[in-house]
């Protein structure tokens, strides 16, 4: 685009003052960028701003079909979060007769990877159980109760190898462990691996599960990955196996996961992603994002989808700044471009 031509970027949420200033500072070399922040977050306000400014870039989480169709000059949509499964049908529809590039954000990958390692070590070292016992005044129950499981000589398997698991791999590379990676397309592997790995593809899922002790799931939710881990797959992981899921809950069949933990088909699990994100309170006012009583189990660590914390860390927005900058420079390739056919 012409560097003197105004580039309108519409936010379909209200950035707070810190974030607004951070975005403006990051884009200071591109004075043609006009960052449009709405006065409120009503759909009517968004439509009014689209009609007034005709933005080439929209940034936010949940656009409506009407908004996208009204934004006739839209060329780039930036979803600041990693998950785009809710956007795939919409963008497949609105891009039938026009070109809109959809990108997502991996700015939370470092935090999520840190949380993944925390969950794994909390699970294998039985931190939650011993914490709860101390809260009950049960001091030093001894190693007969909830013995820690050393990671040494374990075989750790990464299901999916995007931004999160690549960092988890690097974080865990100091342990005396072996690694295996299952990913859909090894041709996308551009950066060097931090350690040697045994490589698998999706059609080798069974062999992959038989070969590992610890399964770390960080795949997006697509038609290919939904329900890919069920009773049979958990049995292949085995009764000494552990899993950590920080991808999407629906990658693992809920009943199969609960049953495998209750029946000790696998040794334990740490879960940050769930099945019902708008749970109704029970008779005691408690809300649980699942059908089955995972909270009754001692071999599970429960986490309320907070791997992306801290949400107020501004560096998570650097990718968005970079993508707007690339557009302002007239570039056609952006960070984390979504392939609608692959659904991620």
Task: Answer whether CATH 3.60.21.10 is correct for domain 109-302.
Answer: no
Six token digits for residue 310: 């801290």
Question: Could you name the CATH architecture of 7-108+311-328?
Answer: 3-Layer(aba) Sandwich (3.40)
- The yes-or-no answer to whether 7-108+311-328 and 109-302 have a common fold is yes
Residue 283: CB partners within 8 Å, gap ≥ 6?
A: none
Give the pLDDT confidence score for residue 3 in this predicted structure.
Answer: 59
Give the pLDDT confidence score for residue 82 in this predicted structure.
Answer: 87
Residues pairing with 103 in the sheet: 78, 337
Whole-angstrom distance, CA of residue 81 vs CA of residue 316: 10
Provide the residue ranges of all domains of the chain, joining segments of one domain with +.
Answer: 7-108+311-328, 109-302
DSSP state of 184: S
Per-residue pLDDT in tens (0 to 9) along the chain, 344 residues:
555 689 999 999 999 999 999 999 999 999 999 999 999 999 999 999 999 999 999 999 999 999 999 999 999 999 998 889 999 999 999 999 999 999 999 999 999 999 999 999 999 999 999 999 999 999 998 888 999 999 999 999 999 999 999 999 999 999 999 999 999 888 878 788 999 999 999 999 999 999 999 999 999 999 999 999 999 999 999 999 999 999 999 999 999 999 999 999 999 999 999 999 999 999 999 999 999 999 999 999 999 999 999 989 999 999 999 999 999 999 999 999 999 999 99
In terms of DSSP H, where are the helices of the chain? 17-26, 43-53, 65-70, 88-94, 109-124, 127-135, 163-172, 205-211, 231-237, 254-262, 318-328
Residue 247: CB partners within 8 Å, gap ≥ 6?
A: 159, 160, 217, 218, 219, 220, 221, 225, 273
Give the pLDDT confidence score for residue 224 in this predicted structure.
Answer: 93
């Amino acid at each position: 685009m012409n560097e003197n031509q105004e580039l309108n970027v519409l936010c379909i949420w209200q950035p707070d003052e810190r974030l607004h200033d951070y975005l403006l500072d990051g884009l200071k070399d591109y004075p043609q960028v006009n960052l449009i922040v709405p006065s409120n977050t009503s759909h009517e306000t968004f439509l009014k701003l689209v009609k007034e400014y005709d933005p080439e870039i929209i940034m936010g989480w949940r656009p409506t079909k009407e908004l996208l169709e009204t934004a006739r000059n839209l060329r780039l949509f930036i979803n600041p979060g990693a998950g785009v499964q809710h956007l795939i049908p919409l963008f497949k529809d609105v891009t039938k007769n026009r070109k809109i590039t959809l990108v997502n954000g991996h700015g939370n990958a470092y935090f999520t990877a840190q949380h993944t390692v925390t969950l794994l070590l909390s699970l294998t070292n039985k931190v939650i159980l011993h914490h709860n016992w101390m809260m009950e005044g049960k001091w030093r129950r001894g190693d007969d109760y909830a013995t820690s499981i050393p990671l040494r000589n374990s075989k750790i398997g990464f299901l999916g190898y995007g931004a999160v698991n690549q960092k988890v791999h690097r974080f865990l590379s100091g342990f005396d462990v072996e690694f295996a990676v299952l990913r859909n397309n090894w041709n996308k592997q551009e950066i060097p691996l931090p350690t040697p790995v045994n490589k698998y593809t999706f059609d080798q899922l069974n062999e992959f599960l038989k070969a590992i002790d610890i399964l770390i799931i960080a795949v997006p939710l697509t038609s290919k990955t939904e329900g890919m881990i069920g009773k049979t797959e958990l049995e292949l992981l085995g009764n000494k196996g552990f899993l950590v899921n920080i991808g999407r809950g629906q990658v693992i069949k809920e009943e199969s996961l609960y049953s495998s933990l209750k029946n000790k088909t696998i040794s334990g699990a740490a879960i940050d992603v769930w099945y019902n994100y708008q749970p109704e309170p029970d008779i005691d006012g408690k809300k649980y994002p699942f059908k089955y009583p995972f909270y009754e189990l001692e071999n599970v660590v429960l986490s309320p989808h907070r791997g992306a914390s801290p949400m107020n860390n501004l560096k998570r927005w650097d990718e968005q700044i970079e993508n707007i900058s690339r557009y302002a420079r007239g570039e056609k390739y952006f960070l984390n471009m979504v392939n609608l056919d692959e659904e991620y």
